[in-house]
Each structure stands twice: as structure tokens, then as C-alpha cells.
Structure 1
Amino acid sequence: MSTIWYECKVKYRKTDDIGSQKVTTEPYLIDAISYTEAEKRINEEMAAYVSEEFKITNIKVANFAEIHPFENADRWFKSKVSLIAFDEESGKERKTNMYLLVQANDVKEAYDNTVVAMKNTMGDYTIPAISESPIMDVFPYFSGEEDDLEKMERFNTLKSSKSELVSAGETADDYIEAEHE
């Protein structure tokens, strides 16, 4: 079963660095099987982070094929990856685009992390575009079973600091895909 990611926009009052409050709307990514579950899960996740009232202003299906958190990175980047296939009937190259959400600190690191994420790809590909995403955080689905708790800890570890796992090409998406099989 393929993972479906929902982009949920949440409006709430946020306190900035100098202590003043302002209303802001921020997008978050939730792994869910329906809009209803996405709404339920974003309410649960945001209740843990926001002490005041918040409002969900929009929920839509995100067009990300894969999510790749990396350690010691604090921003999310949208990487456009073009898979290249040769069409034998027409004799032409065909490109199929997919989008990855990759965690990094800057565009160069996002490019490098995209290459790491694509390391085991059998076919040819190009990376024609990388841009910073407004996504604030990603909340994958874990069922709460003991095996899933280990996966969740590993996912959160990958989101927060860099280790030999990243250099080995291991990402938290490996754990998410295993969860949905």
C-alpha cells in the first residue's frame, strides 16, 4: 500500500523571538488514509505543540512520492526528480516527474540528500529543480505497536541529527515504507 501524504494548513497565534504574538498559518504534512483521519491526526499533533486555540484552514493531498528526513537538518526542500526511460516503440526518451520532500539546511545539501535518497534507483534520473518548501514538520503514521515505536524513534532520530546511517543511504522513509507493506 502506498503512503498518502496530506498537507494540512493550521492557523494559530504564535509568539516570535521578541515575545510579540501574531496569527500565522503554517503547513504540516500528515501520513493518513483519508481526509478525516488527516484532520483527526493534525488535531492531535497540534494539540501537543500549541497551547492556545488553532484552526485547520485547509487539507489537501500532497504530491510527494517519498519523504526523506535527514539528521542535523532543520528545513524541508521539494526536489523534482525526472526518471528517464527509453520508449522502444517511438525510439524516444520519456521523462516521468516525481517529487521528494528532503530535509536539509540549504539547497546544496538538499541536492546531496536527494542523490543519497535516489542511490538505489535502477534507472537514470535527473534533478531539474529543488526549492525550499514551506512545510514546517512531517508526522508519519505509526500504529503504536512495539515494533512501530522503534520505527518512530528511528524516524525522529533521523529528523534531528546526522549519523553514519545517512552516509549509508538509510532514511526514515525506509521505515515508513515497511510500515505500509
Structure 2
Amino acid sequence: MNNEWFECKVKYEKTMENGLVKKVTEPYLVDALNFTEAEARIIEEITPFMTGAFEVSDIKRAHYAELFEAPGDDSADKFFRAKLLFITLDEKSGKEKKTSQNVLVQAADLRDSIKRLDEGMKGSMMDYTIASVTETAIMDIFHYVVHHKKAGEDKPEYEA
């Protein structure tokens, strides 16, 4: 299945460290088939963590060719958008052509993001250049989870 990523912004009242309540908008990345499903999924994912009212204030497509996550690494609490330039050769004209792709890297800081990006790209056959790396405001990523039925649960109504 091809991943379709949507950036969903959730607006809610957050109690700050100093005790004051402030309205905040936080972006989350959701793997979904379309905008409708993205909204339903972010509501489902976020509801257990919210104590008061919240709203999904914006949903837009997020174009990431690849995600490099750091599961289990609590220090990697930020997400960085890296723009990569790939150099390809046009066989007809013989000229070099640059194409760009955005990838998302979970890391602790800028240096760590570049290290993790290079590590993730090790298996790539294409030459690439890092054009830019920018910290995003993304709070978390929610992947599409396929629920598998246990063996024997899906029995036919009749035996053949």
C-alpha cells in the first residue's frame, strides 16, 4: 500500500507549566487514504490524550518520499524535514537533471537528524545531496494499522 500522508492540525486548550491555560495548535502526521479518513483517524488517535474540547482546524497533504523514525529513542523527540536533491542523467539529451524529494527524519537535534538521514540513505543506489534540513512542529506520527483477524475467526456460513 502506498502511504499517503496528511498533516492534521489540532486546536485545543493546553495547561502550560506555569498553570496558565493557553490555546495551542499542534500538527500531527497521519497515514490515511483521503482527507475524510485523515480527519477520522486523527480524532480517534488524539481523543484518549485530550481532557477538554478540541477541533481539527486544518488538514493538508504532506509530501514525504520516506520517513526515518527512531522508535524507542526518547531523546529523538523532534521531526526534521530534509530536502534531498537526486542527480539523474537524461539518456536522450545526456544532461544532468536534478529532482528533489522531501523526507522526514525523527531526531534529537539538527546534527542527529543529518546523521540519521545518512544512515537511512545508506542502501540507496542514487547519489543525493542534502539541500536543506528544517525542524518541523510535528508532534507525532500515526501510521495506518491493519488489524488482522485471528485464525478461525472468519468461518464460511456453509461448508463446501
| TM-score band w.r.t. shorter chain | 0.7 to 0.9
1:33-55 per-residue CA deviation (whole Å, 9 max, x = no partner) reads 01111010000111011111001
Q: In structure 1, what is the equivalent of residue 127 of structure 2?
A: 124
TM-score relative to the length of structure 1 = 0.77
Mark the structure with the bigger radius of gyration. Answer: 2
> Which residue of 81, 87, 101 maps to 1:84?
87
> Where do 1:143-162 residues align within 5 Å?
143-145=146-148
How far apart are 1:16 and its partner, in Å? 1.3
Structure 1 unaligned regions, length at least 5 = 148-181
How far apart are 1:31 and its partner, in Å? 0.3
Structure 2 unaligned regions, length at least 5 = 151-160
Richer in helix (by share): 1
Q: In structure 2, what is the equivalent of residue 38 of structure 1?
A: 38
How far apart are 1:146 and its partner, in Å? 7.5
Residue identity over aligned pairs, in percent, reads: 44
Q: Which runs of 4+ in 1 moved over 2 A?
A: 144-147
Matched, 1:19 2:23: no
How far apart are 1:110 and its partner, in Å? 0.6
3-state secondary structure, aligned to 1:64: coil
Q: In structure 1, what is the equivalent of residue 153 of structure 2?
A: none
Q: In structure 2, what is the equivalent of residue 61 of structure 1?
A: 61
TM-score relative to the length of structure 2 = 0.87
> Which residue of 103, 120, 127 maps to 1:100?
103
Matched, 1:113 2:139: no
Matched, 1:134 2:137: yes
Count how many residue pairs are aligned between Structure 1 and Structure 2.
147
Amino acid aligned to 1:126: T
CA distance in 2 between partners of 1:40 and 1:56 (Å)? 10
